[in-house]
A and B are shown apart, each in its own frame.
Chain A
Amino acid sequence: MPSLIDLPLPFVLTGQTGWGRSLHFLSAWVMVTTGAIYVAAGLRHARFQWPLYNAAQRRAYLAVVFVLVPMMIWTGLAMSPAITSVVPFVVSLLGGQQSARTIHFAVAIALACFVIGHVVMVALAGFGAYVGAMITGNMPARKEPV
Protein backbone atom coordinates (compact mmCIF):
# COMPACT_ATOMS: atom_id res chain seq x y z
CA MET A 1 0.00 0.00 0.00
CA PRO A 2 1.53 3.35 -0.94
CA SER A 3 2.37 5.56 2.00
CA LEU A 4 0.30 8.62 2.84
CA ILE A 5 3.35 10.81 3.35
CA ASP A 6 6.66 10.42 1.55
CA LEU A 7 9.89 12.17 2.30
CA PRO A 8 11.28 14.07 -0.68
CA LEU A 9 13.34 11.88 -2.98
CA PRO A 10 16.78 13.32 -2.09
CA PHE A 11 16.45 11.79 1.39
CA VAL A 12 16.50 8.31 -0.13
CA LEU A 13 19.57 8.65 -2.28
CA THR A 14 21.14 5.27 -2.80
CA GLY A 15 18.49 2.67 -2.25
CA GLN A 16 15.70 1.48 -0.03
CA THR A 17 17.17 2.60 3.25
CA GLY A 18 19.67 4.94 1.64
CA TRP A 19 22.70 6.00 3.55
CA GLY A 20 20.61 6.65 6.68
CA ARG A 21 21.04 3.14 8.00
CA SER A 22 24.79 3.18 7.49
CA LEU A 23 25.06 6.64 9.05
CA HIS A 24 23.05 5.46 12.05
CA PHE A 25 25.42 2.57 12.75
CA LEU A 26 28.56 4.66 12.24
CA SER A 27 27.12 7.34 14.51
CA ALA A 28 26.39 4.70 17.14
CA TRP A 29 30.11 3.96 17.38
CA VAL A 30 30.96 7.66 17.61
CA MET A 31 28.35 8.22 20.33
CA VAL A 32 29.35 5.20 22.39
CA THR A 33 33.06 6.03 22.21
CA THR A 34 32.56 9.71 23.02
CA GLY A 35 30.02 8.93 25.72
CA ALA A 36 32.27 6.39 27.39
CA ILE A 37 35.12 8.90 27.54
CA TYR A 38 32.74 11.58 28.85
CA VAL A 39 31.33 9.38 31.61
CA ALA A 40 34.75 8.01 32.55
CA ALA A 41 36.19 11.51 32.79
CA GLY A 42 33.22 12.68 34.85
CA LEU A 43 33.48 9.77 37.26
CA ARG A 44 37.22 10.27 37.59
CA HIS A 45 36.74 13.85 38.69
CA ALA A 46 33.98 12.63 41.04
CA ARG A 47 31.44 15.00 39.55
CA PHE A 48 30.20 16.33 36.28
CA GLN A 49 31.28 19.87 35.50
CA TRP A 50 28.05 21.75 35.03
CA PRO A 51 28.69 24.89 37.14
CA LEU A 52 26.65 27.33 35.12
CA TYR A 53 23.49 25.27 34.74
CA ASN A 54 20.37 25.45 36.85
CA ALA A 55 18.70 22.53 38.56
CA ALA A 56 16.30 21.78 35.71
CA GLN A 57 19.17 21.69 33.22
CA ARG A 58 21.23 19.42 35.45
CA ARG A 59 18.32 17.03 35.88
CA ALA A 60 17.84 16.98 32.11
CA TYR A 61 21.54 16.23 31.57
CA LEU A 62 21.52 13.49 34.18
CA ALA A 63 18.46 11.95 32.54
CA VAL A 64 20.07 12.08 29.11
CA VAL A 65 23.51 10.80 30.16
CA PHE A 66 22.41 8.12 32.62
CA VAL A 67 18.94 7.08 31.42
CA LEU A 68 18.09 7.98 27.84
CA VAL A 69 21.41 7.25 26.14
CA PRO A 70 22.02 3.97 28.02
CA MET A 71 18.46 2.94 27.10
CA MET A 72 19.18 3.70 23.44
CA ILE A 73 22.23 1.49 23.58
CA TRP A 74 20.47 -1.28 25.50
CA THR A 75 17.36 -1.37 23.30
CA GLY A 76 19.51 -1.08 20.19
CA LEU A 77 21.64 -4.05 21.18
CA ALA A 78 18.47 -5.93 22.11
CA MET A 79 17.47 -5.80 18.46
CA SER A 80 20.72 -7.45 17.42
CA PRO A 81 20.25 -11.18 16.80
CA ALA A 82 24.01 -11.65 17.17
CA ILE A 83 24.38 -9.84 20.51
CA THR A 84 21.28 -11.48 21.98
CA SER A 85 22.67 -14.89 21.07
CA VAL A 86 25.61 -14.11 23.37
CA VAL A 87 23.68 -12.37 26.16
CA PRO A 88 19.98 -13.29 25.89
CA PHE A 89 18.97 -11.32 28.99
CA VAL A 90 19.64 -8.11 27.04
CA VAL A 91 16.40 -8.69 25.13
CA SER A 92 14.44 -10.89 27.52
CA LEU A 93 14.61 -8.27 30.30
CA LEU A 94 12.89 -5.83 27.94
CA GLY A 95 10.08 -8.25 27.10
CA GLY A 96 11.29 -9.26 23.66
CA GLN A 97 12.60 -7.74 20.47
CA GLN A 98 9.37 -5.94 19.58
CA SER A 99 9.22 -4.27 23.00
CA ALA A 100 12.84 -3.23 22.63
CA ARG A 101 11.98 -1.68 19.27
CA THR A 102 9.07 0.30 20.68
CA ILE A 103 11.15 1.60 23.59
CA HIS A 104 13.98 2.45 21.18
CA PHE A 105 11.64 4.66 19.14
CA ALA A 106 10.09 6.29 22.23
CA VAL A 107 13.51 7.14 23.70
CA ALA A 108 14.65 8.42 20.31
CA ILE A 109 11.73 10.87 20.30
CA ALA A 110 12.61 11.98 23.83
CA LEU A 111 16.23 12.50 22.82
CA ALA A 112 15.19 14.41 19.72
CA CYS A 113 13.09 16.75 21.90
CA PHE A 114 16.07 17.22 24.20
CA VAL A 115 18.40 18.00 21.29
CA ILE A 116 16.03 20.61 19.91
CA GLY A 117 15.68 22.31 23.29
CA HIS A 118 19.42 21.98 23.92
CA VAL A 119 20.47 23.58 20.63
CA VAL A 120 17.94 26.39 21.00
CA MET A 121 19.27 27.19 24.48
CA VAL A 122 22.88 27.16 23.29
CA ALA A 123 21.95 29.48 20.44
CA LEU A 124 20.22 31.86 22.85
CA ALA A 125 23.25 31.86 25.14
CA GLY A 126 25.78 32.46 22.38
CA PHE A 127 26.32 29.60 19.96
CA GLY A 128 29.92 30.25 18.97
CA ALA A 129 31.15 30.90 22.50
CA TYR A 130 29.55 27.82 24.03
CA VAL A 131 30.36 25.41 21.22
CA GLY A 132 33.93 26.67 21.39
CA ALA A 133 33.89 26.10 25.16
CA MET A 134 32.63 22.55 24.63
CA ILE A 135 35.60 21.84 22.39
CA THR A 136 38.43 23.74 24.07
CA GLY A 137 37.25 23.80 27.67
CA ASN A 138 37.60 27.57 27.96
CA MET A 139 34.31 28.73 29.44
CA PRO A 140 33.12 32.15 28.23
CA ALA A 141 33.17 34.88 30.82
CA ARG A 142 29.62 35.28 32.08
CA LYS A 143 28.61 36.76 35.41
CA GLU A 144 25.26 35.05 35.83
CA PRO A 145 24.24 31.48 34.94
CA VAL A 146 22.31 30.94 31.72
Chain B
Amino acid sequence: MIVAVASGKGGTGKTTVAAALARVWERPCLAVDADVEEPNLDLYLRAREVARDRAAIEVPQVGHSERCDGCGACAEICAFKAVLAFGDFPVVFAEMCHGCGGCIAVCPHGVLVPGARELGAVRRGRAGAAESRPDLWLIEGRLRVGEAMSPPLIRQVLRDAAALAAETGADIVIDAPPGTSCPAMAAVRDADAIVLVAEPTPFGLHDLGLAVRAFADQGAPIGVVVNRADLGDSSVQAFCGDTGLPVLAELPFRREIAAACARGVPLDRLGGETLRAVTALADAVRDLAEQGMRR
Protein backbone atom coordinates (compact mmCIF):
# COMPACT_ATOMS: atom_id res chain seq x y z
CA MET B 1 0.00 0.00 0.00
CA ILE B 2 1.36 3.41 -0.97
CA VAL B 3 -0.06 6.68 0.35
CA ALA B 4 1.20 10.10 -0.75
CA VAL B 5 0.72 13.20 1.40
CA ALA B 6 0.73 16.21 -0.91
CA SER B 7 -0.70 19.70 -1.21
CA GLY B 8 -1.14 22.54 -3.61
CA LYS B 9 0.04 25.31 -1.36
CA GLY B 10 3.25 24.84 0.58
CA GLY B 11 3.38 25.10 4.36
CA THR B 12 -0.01 23.49 4.93
CA GLY B 13 1.30 20.68 7.15
CA LYS B 14 2.20 17.76 4.84
CA THR B 15 5.32 16.75 6.74
CA THR B 16 3.63 17.11 10.12
CA VAL B 17 0.75 14.90 8.95
CA ALA B 18 2.98 12.38 7.16
CA ALA B 19 5.21 11.94 10.22
CA ALA B 20 2.23 11.39 12.50
CA LEU B 21 0.58 8.92 10.11
CA ALA B 22 3.77 6.85 9.84
CA ARG B 23 4.21 6.77 13.59
CA VAL B 24 0.68 5.59 14.39
CA TRP B 25 0.34 3.28 11.38
CA GLU B 26 -0.80 -0.12 12.59
CA ARG B 27 1.27 -2.13 10.13
CA PRO B 28 4.98 -2.00 9.29
CA CYS B 29 5.56 1.39 7.74
CA LEU B 30 8.20 3.00 5.58
CA ALA B 31 8.13 6.79 5.66
CA VAL B 32 9.59 8.35 2.53
CA ASP B 33 10.78 11.94 2.29
CA ALA B 34 10.38 12.76 -1.39
CA ASP B 35 10.73 16.50 -0.85
CA VAL B 36 14.34 16.18 -1.92
CA GLU B 37 14.99 19.91 -2.24
CA GLU B 38 14.36 20.44 1.45
CA PRO B 39 13.85 17.12 3.24
CA ASN B 40 12.55 17.77 6.75
CA LEU B 41 10.62 14.61 7.68
CA ASP B 42 13.55 13.43 9.78
CA LEU B 43 13.16 16.48 12.03
CA TYR B 44 10.12 14.61 13.41
CA LEU B 45 11.18 11.01 12.94
CA ARG B 46 14.83 11.30 14.10
CA ALA B 47 15.84 8.11 12.38
CA ARG B 48 19.05 6.26 13.20
CA GLU B 49 20.87 6.28 9.87
CA VAL B 50 21.76 2.83 8.58
CA ALA B 51 22.93 3.63 5.05
CA ARG B 52 23.67 6.60 2.86
CA ASP B 53 24.16 6.10 -0.88
CA ARG B 54 25.09 8.53 -3.62
CA ALA B 55 22.54 8.81 -6.40
CA ALA B 56 23.46 9.70 -9.98
CA ILE B 57 21.82 9.99 -13.36
CA GLU B 58 23.41 8.63 -16.49
CA VAL B 59 24.46 11.41 -18.86
CA PRO B 60 26.53 11.30 -22.06
CA GLN B 61 30.14 12.26 -22.30
CA VAL B 62 32.39 12.46 -25.35
CA GLY B 63 34.42 9.26 -25.25
CA HIS B 64 35.89 9.07 -28.76
CA SER B 65 35.83 12.49 -30.42
CA GLU B 66 38.02 11.30 -33.29
CA ARG B 67 35.26 8.97 -34.50
CA CYS B 68 32.69 11.77 -34.99
CA ASP B 69 31.63 12.42 -38.58
CA GLY B 70 29.33 15.35 -37.77
CA CYS B 71 26.11 13.51 -38.66
CA GLY B 72 24.24 15.35 -35.89
CA ALA B 73 22.00 12.41 -34.93
CA CYS B 74 22.79 12.95 -31.25
CA ALA B 75 21.72 16.60 -31.29
CA GLU B 76 18.64 15.80 -33.30
CA ILE B 77 17.27 13.21 -30.88
CA CYS B 78 17.92 15.32 -27.79
CA ALA B 79 14.75 17.08 -26.59
CA PHE B 80 16.60 19.17 -24.03
CA LYS B 81 19.55 20.74 -25.88
CA ALA B 82 21.95 18.76 -23.73
CA VAL B 83 23.94 17.66 -26.80
CA LEU B 84 24.88 20.07 -29.59
CA ALA B 85 26.53 19.09 -32.86
CA PHE B 86 27.98 21.72 -35.10
CA GLY B 87 31.68 21.06 -35.24
CA ASP B 88 34.22 18.31 -35.05
CA PHE B 89 32.50 16.51 -32.21
CA PRO B 90 29.43 16.88 -30.00
CA VAL B 91 29.34 19.38 -27.15
CA VAL B 92 27.61 18.01 -24.05
CA PHE B 93 25.81 20.09 -21.40
CA ALA B 94 25.41 17.42 -18.77
CA GLU B 95 23.33 19.55 -16.42
CA MET B 96 20.56 19.82 -19.06
CA CYS B 97 20.39 16.06 -19.60
CA HIS B 98 17.31 14.12 -18.47
CA GLY B 99 19.04 10.74 -18.83
CA CYS B 100 17.05 9.19 -21.70
CA GLY B 101 20.14 7.58 -23.25
CA GLY B 102 18.93 8.40 -26.77
CA CYS B 103 22.06 10.15 -28.00
CA ILE B 104 24.32 7.29 -26.92
CA ALA B 105 21.99 4.83 -28.63
CA VAL B 106 21.75 6.61 -32.00
CA CYS B 107 25.42 7.51 -32.47
CA PRO B 108 26.62 5.24 -35.28
CA HIS B 109 30.27 5.37 -34.21
CA GLY B 110 30.22 5.14 -30.43
CA VAL B 111 31.48 8.70 -29.95
CA LEU B 112 29.33 9.23 -26.84
CA VAL B 113 29.71 6.99 -23.81
CA PRO B 114 27.78 6.85 -20.51
CA GLY B 115 28.94 9.20 -17.77
CA ALA B 116 27.22 10.27 -14.57
CA ARG B 117 25.90 13.45 -13.00
CA GLU B 118 25.56 13.32 -9.24
CA LEU B 119 21.98 13.97 -8.09
CA GLY B 120 22.45 13.81 -4.35
CA ALA B 121 22.07 11.19 -1.66
CA VAL B 122 19.52 8.66 -0.44
CA ARG B 123 19.59 8.02 3.30
CA ARG B 124 17.97 5.06 4.99
CA GLY B 125 17.33 4.54 8.68
CA ARG B 126 15.21 3.13 11.46
CA ALA B 127 12.71 5.63 12.77
CA GLY B 128 11.06 3.74 15.60
CA ALA B 129 12.28 2.80 19.06
CA ALA B 130 13.98 -0.58 18.87
CA GLU B 131 11.72 -2.28 21.44
CA SER B 132 8.36 -0.68 20.75
CA ARG B 133 8.48 0.08 17.01
CA PRO B 134 11.09 -2.01 15.18
CA ASP B 135 9.04 -1.82 11.99
CA LEU B 136 9.18 1.91 11.20
CA TRP B 137 11.74 3.01 8.62
CA LEU B 138 12.67 6.23 6.88
CA ILE B 139 14.12 6.72 3.40
CA GLU B 140 15.08 10.28 2.55
CA GLY B 141 16.29 11.90 -0.66
CA ARG B 142 18.62 14.86 -0.38
CA LEU B 143 19.29 16.84 -3.57
CA ARG B 144 22.86 17.97 -4.24
CA VAL B 145 23.26 21.73 -3.83
CA GLY B 146 23.38 23.08 -7.39
CA GLU B 147 21.32 20.30 -8.97
CA ALA B 148 18.36 21.79 -10.82
CA MET B 149 16.23 18.68 -11.34
CA SER B 150 14.42 16.88 -8.53
CA PRO B 151 12.41 14.21 -10.38
CA PRO B 152 15.35 11.90 -11.20
CA LEU B 153 16.33 11.76 -7.51
CA ILE B 154 12.70 11.40 -6.45
CA ARG B 155 12.37 8.40 -8.77
CA GLN B 156 15.52 6.86 -7.29
CA VAL B 157 14.15 7.37 -3.77
CA LEU B 158 10.88 5.68 -4.74
CA ARG B 159 12.73 2.73 -6.33
CA ASP B 160 14.75 2.26 -3.14
CA ALA B 161 11.55 2.53 -1.12
CA ALA B 162 9.78 -0.07 -3.22
CA ALA B 163 12.68 -2.47 -2.70
CA LEU B 164 12.68 -2.00 1.08
CA ALA B 165 8.89 -2.31 1.22
CA ALA B 166 9.01 -5.54 -0.74
CA GLU B 167 11.65 -6.94 1.61
CA THR B 168 9.82 -5.94 4.82
CA GLY B 169 6.15 -6.01 3.80
CA ALA B 170 5.83 -2.38 4.90
CA ASP B 171 3.24 0.12 3.70
CA ILE B 172 4.70 3.33 2.30
CA VAL B 173 3.77 6.87 3.42
CA ILE B 174 5.31 9.50 1.14
CA ASP B 175 5.93 13.09 2.21
CA ALA B 176 5.65 14.75 -1.20
CA PRO B 177 7.09 18.09 -2.30
CA PRO B 178 4.64 20.99 -2.31
CA GLY B 179 2.98 22.25 -5.46
CA THR B 180 1.75 20.64 -8.63
CA SER B 181 4.69 20.68 -11.02
CA CYS B 182 7.17 17.97 -11.97
CA PRO B 183 8.54 17.13 -8.51
CA ALA B 184 5.08 16.64 -6.97
CA MET B 185 3.87 14.64 -9.96
CA ALA B 186 6.91 12.36 -9.72
CA ALA B 187 6.31 11.78 -6.00
CA VAL B 188 2.63 10.79 -6.23
CA ARG B 189 2.84 8.72 -9.38
CA ASP B 190 2.57 5.26 -7.81
CA ALA B 191 0.30 6.15 -4.90
CA ASP B 192 -2.85 4.17 -4.16
CA ALA B 193 -4.31 7.22 -2.43
CA ILE B 194 -3.37 10.89 -2.26
CA VAL B 195 -3.97 12.87 0.92
CA LEU B 196 -4.09 16.61 0.23
CA VAL B 197 -3.38 18.80 3.23
CA ALA B 198 -5.12 22.14 2.81
CA GLU B 199 -5.62 25.27 4.86
CA PRO B 200 -8.96 27.11 4.96
CA THR B 201 -7.85 30.40 3.38
CA PRO B 202 -8.32 31.90 -0.11
CA PHE B 203 -4.81 30.87 -1.21
CA GLY B 204 -5.31 27.46 0.37
CA LEU B 205 -8.55 26.95 -1.51
CA HIS B 206 -7.09 28.12 -4.81
CA ASP B 207 -4.05 25.87 -4.59
CA LEU B 208 -6.15 22.90 -3.44
CA GLY B 209 -8.11 23.31 -6.66
CA LEU B 210 -4.88 23.23 -8.66
CA ALA B 211 -3.73 20.10 -6.87
CA VAL B 212 -7.00 18.28 -7.44
CA ARG B 213 -6.81 19.02 -11.17
CA ALA B 214 -3.13 18.13 -11.42
CA PHE B 215 -3.50 14.77 -9.69
CA ALA B 216 -6.84 13.79 -11.24
CA ASP B 217 -5.25 11.93 -14.14
CA GLN B 218 -3.14 9.86 -11.81
CA GLY B 219 -6.41 8.11 -10.96
CA ALA B 220 -5.90 7.48 -7.25
CA PRO B 221 -8.67 8.47 -4.82
CA ILE B 222 -8.03 11.81 -3.15
CA GLY B 223 -8.91 12.79 0.41
CA VAL B 224 -8.45 16.14 2.11
CA VAL B 225 -7.11 17.04 5.53
CA VAL B 226 -8.04 20.54 6.57
CA ASN B 227 -5.30 21.85 8.83
CA ARG B 228 -5.78 24.79 11.20
CA ALA B 229 -9.43 24.23 10.35
CA ASP B 230 -10.86 26.71 12.84
CA LEU B 231 -8.64 29.57 11.71
CA GLY B 232 -10.03 30.56 8.31
CA ASP B 233 -13.35 30.21 6.50
CA SER B 234 -15.37 27.20 5.40
CA SER B 235 -14.75 27.49 1.66
CA VAL B 236 -12.40 24.50 1.56
CA GLN B 237 -15.02 22.28 3.20
CA ALA B 238 -17.63 23.64 0.80
CA PHE B 239 -15.35 22.91 -2.16
CA CYS B 240 -14.88 19.34 -0.96
CA GLY B 241 -18.63 18.92 -0.62
CA ASP B 242 -19.21 20.28 -4.12
CA THR B 243 -16.56 18.11 -5.75
CA GLY B 244 -17.26 14.96 -3.77
CA LEU B 245 -13.88 14.84 -2.03
CA PRO B 246 -13.91 13.23 1.42
CA VAL B 247 -12.67 15.40 4.27
CA LEU B 248 -10.58 12.86 6.18
CA ALA B 249 -9.81 15.10 9.15
CA GLU B 250 -10.09 18.64 10.41
CA LEU B 251 -7.11 19.48 12.60
CA PRO B 252 -7.62 22.50 14.83
CA PHE B 253 -5.21 25.34 15.33
CA ARG B 254 -3.74 24.88 18.78
CA ARG B 255 -0.79 26.71 20.17
CA GLU B 256 0.51 23.48 21.69
CA ILE B 257 0.58 21.88 18.23
CA ALA B 258 2.53 24.82 16.80
CA ALA B 259 4.95 24.63 19.73
CA ALA B 260 5.37 20.90 19.20
CA CYS B 261 6.11 21.37 15.50
CA ALA B 262 8.70 23.99 16.34
CA ARG B 263 10.46 21.49 18.60
CA GLY B 264 10.17 18.60 16.11
CA VAL B 265 7.71 16.76 18.35
CA PRO B 266 5.34 14.67 16.20
CA LEU B 267 1.59 15.07 16.71
CA ASP B 268 0.97 11.63 18.24
CA ARG B 269 3.21 12.48 21.20
CA LEU B 270 0.77 15.18 22.30
CA GLY B 271 -1.78 12.54 23.30
CA GLY B 272 -5.38 13.51 24.04
CA GLU B 273 -7.58 14.80 21.24
CA THR B 274 -4.64 15.25 18.85
CA LEU B 275 -3.61 11.61 19.12
CA ARG B 276 -7.24 10.55 18.67
CA ALA B 277 -7.54 12.72 15.56
CA VAL B 278 -4.34 11.31 14.05
CA THR B 279 -5.34 7.70 14.76
CA ALA B 280 -8.75 8.24 13.20
CA LEU B 281 -7.06 9.88 10.21
CA ALA B 282 -4.77 6.87 9.77
CA ASP B 283 -7.81 4.57 9.63
CA ALA B 284 -9.52 6.82 7.08
CA VAL B 285 -6.36 6.99 4.96
CA ARG B 286 -5.98 3.23 4.99
CA ASP B 287 -9.60 2.81 3.86
CA LEU B 288 -9.01 5.29 1.05
CA ALA B 289 -5.87 3.46 -0.07
CA GLU B 290 -7.65 0.10 -0.02
CA GLN B 291 -10.26 1.69 -2.27
CA GLY B 292 -7.46 2.87 -4.53
CA MET B 293 -5.83 -0.55 -4.69
CA ARG B 294 -9.08 -2.12 -5.87
CA ARG B 295 -9.37 0.06 -9.01
Q: Do A and B come from one complex?
A: no
